[in-house]
Structure 1
């Protein structure tokens, strides 16, 4: 059975809905430390490196098992964003995103016995509409603290859809995992039926 190296509610929900049997185990990887070492690295590569670090950390305690690592990062105007540290930080992120194009990088990697077996990253482009300070305050009054656990400060399946005027890319990528490519890889690895 697949091990998901994450406690992400969104990733768990996608795997459950797709009928993929899995067990979730969080990893203790210090993402902030890894990101500090990756200054200037493109966002998609950073997401893959973080996903791999999580999968490798969990793989150590799961000999012979296939481990899925995932990560999502938002890039706006060449600047990388992770989950907001506080509600005030979330408001700053949203003000920065206003009127800009957000690139949401979602990466996934499969590792067995410490060896990467497959890796993939997809990027969705989300055009953020102009957000007024009143809208940002109202939005956070309704969506905080739930969006505090979300890169980009939104849940597309909730009020977060109001942030955007145009979205290009897979819905699953926006939710945080390149699911269709992952399902193909799981079939190749013999984890799910072909």
Structure 2
């Protein structure tokens, strides 16, 4: 891989940085800062659309690179939950999820800024939460962690104590399904190792 093919992660999420690092390829981070409002109906379409929007915004700044965009939402009862706008909304989201199973959807897009080639896909994982008491939910919201997470919880953080089952790829819930990233980067001279040589746990 030549230096100008280095991957650019169009996200400021430390969780996505950690997951991408597991693939063992060099990358830099450029935050897109795009408007995430959309009228798209389904969660998979929404996440891929927003991931592409982020990638295109960063491609203007890195025209010779491979741009990786990603977006995560939670879906329950046909409602799509992004990041909460307030602690009260975070608490309401968590109350809607407790004692039930919901879907976490993460869309990934790889944009070759040099050629305009776009590859995208959404991954879905089902997550079940126990019936968490209000006091626990309130304490979690007070920690501040829910404010930067879709559905108002971070499974790799304090909300791990709420989850009783994960049906699918945990990376999807954390925010970047690495198997999907590897597939999308295949053939794009990104220097991504095969699964057998992937670094990290």
Provide Cα deviations, 1:60-104, integer angstroms capped at 9, x if missing partner. 222121100100011011100001112111111111112222110
Residue of structure 2 in register with 1:179 after alignment: 178
Render the CA deviation track for 1:19-39: whole Å, top value 9, x for unaligned: 22111111131102xx2x22x
The answer for the alignment partner of 1:124 in structure 2 is: 125
Q: Tell whether 2:100 aligns with 1:74.
A: no
For residue 51 of structure 1, what is the aligned residue in structure 2? 51
SS at match of 1:138: helix
- Give the superposition deviation at 1:130: 1.3
Alignment RMSD:
1.6
- CA distance in 1: counterparts of 2:192 and 2:99, whole angstroms: 44
Aligned to 2:105: 105
Q: Which residue of 2 aligns with 1:27?
A: 32
Instruction: Report SS of the residue matched to 1:115.
Output: coil
**CA shift at 1:164, angstroms?**
1.7
Number of aligned residue pairs = 187
TM-score for the superposition, normalised by structure 1: 0.90
Cα distance in 2, alignment partners of residues 8 and 116 from structure 1: 24
- Give the stretch that moved more between structures: 106-115 or 52-61: 106-115
- Which is bigger in relative contact order (C-alpha 8 A, separation at least 6)? 2
Q: Secondary structure at the match of 2:63?
A: coil
Is this contact kept in 2: 1:121–1:178, CA < 8 A?
A: no
Structure 2: runs of 5+ lacking an equivalent: 1-5, 194-201
Gaps of 5+ in 1: none
**1:135–1:146 CA distance, 2 compared to 1 (3 A):** closer
Corresponding residue of 1:145: 144
